Amino acid sequence: MLFDGKDRKELERLRKQEGRLPPGQSLTLKWPVLHYGSVPRFDPEHWDFRVYGLVQSPLRLSWDEFNALPRIQRTGDFHCVTRWSRFDNQWDGVAVREVLRRAHPRPEAAYVLVHGEQGFTANVPLADLDRDEAVLATHHDGQPLTPDHGYPLRLIVPHLYAWKSVKWLRGLEFLDCDAPGFWEQNGYHMYGDPWKEQRFSSQ
């Protein structure tokens, strides 16, 4: 990677914030774009966000209804399994907990299959979504997400590898058992803790 002098200084400063870079990762100031398939077009007329499966109150929100929910801001680091990490990302959006409160997961709900556009999925334990830092994000560093980065909505689960942070988010499906999502079916780890380097399922 090439950096100009200013970037190099900034990188050195960040690297010194010891303990923030998980093993096997390197820091980037850029924000790489990574996904399978093409960037979907946003159609506000037909877009919805659905919360379903093992919940007492299933939700189906239009784009306007989603944007009427109370909003939060969180700052967090982002770790991709392909070994780059980006620090101090500011996410604006709706707390995942806001949605959990409204949907009332049933006692037997233990896992969530996160659904993106075009059939993309990722599996996350419910306990890992029921965290203060988990965001349904519409904005990054003060700007609406760009189409590449998941506009209009993406999940952010900063304590797991970033493949769990589904772009072009459309729904959360509550399940009683763990079912592999897209990358998990293709060899990635079922959980994906960057601090334990849980990259592949063979581990």
Of residues 102 through 161, those in contact with Mo ion by CB under 5 A are: none
19-58 b/e with 16+ CB inside 10 Å = b?
eebbeebebbeeeeeebeeebbeeeeeebebebebbbeee
Taking the C-alpha atoms of residue 105 and residue 96, their distance in angstroms, rounded to an integer, is 12
Q: Considering only 28-36, 88-96, 129-137, 193-201, which stretch makes contact with ligand MTE by CB under 6 A? A: 28-36
DSSP helix/strand/coil, 145: coil
Q: Is residue 139 involved in binding ligand MTE (CB under 6 A)?
A: no
Spatial distance between the Cα atoms of 111 and 129, rounded to a whole number of angstroms = 9
Give the residue with the Cβ less far from Mo ion, 81 or 103. Answer: 81
What distance separates the 2 farthest-apart alpha carbons in the chain? 55
- Size, binding site for Mo ion by CB under 5 A: 5
Residue 152 interacting partner from ligand MTE, Mo ion, none (CB closer than 5 to 8 Å by kind)? none
Interacting stretch for Mo ion, rule CB under 5 A, among 85-93, 133-141, 162-170, 195-203? 162-170
83 interacts with ligand MTE by CB under 6 A: no
Nearest approach, Cβ of 104 to ligand MTE (angstroms)?
26
Q: Is 163 in the site for ligand MTE (CB under 6 A)?
A: yes
Q: Pull the structure tokens for residue 59.
A: 């939700």
Identify the residue among 1, 3, 15, 32 touching ligand MTE (CB under 6 A).
Answer: 32
- CA 71 to centroid of chain Cα atoms: 17
Q: How far is the CB of 148 from Mo ion (least distance, A)?
A: 14
Distances 103 to 44, 86, 97 between C-alpha atoms, Å: 23, 32, 10
Is residue 163 part of the contact set for Mo ion (CB under 5 A)? yes
Please say whether the beta carbons of 126 and 109 come within 8 A: yes
Span from 46-54, 73-81, 150-158, 189-197 in contact with Mo ion (CB under 5 A): 73-81
Which is closer to ligand MTE, CB of 100 or CB of 154?
Answer: 154
Residues that bind Mo ion (CB under 5 A): 34, 80-81, 162-163
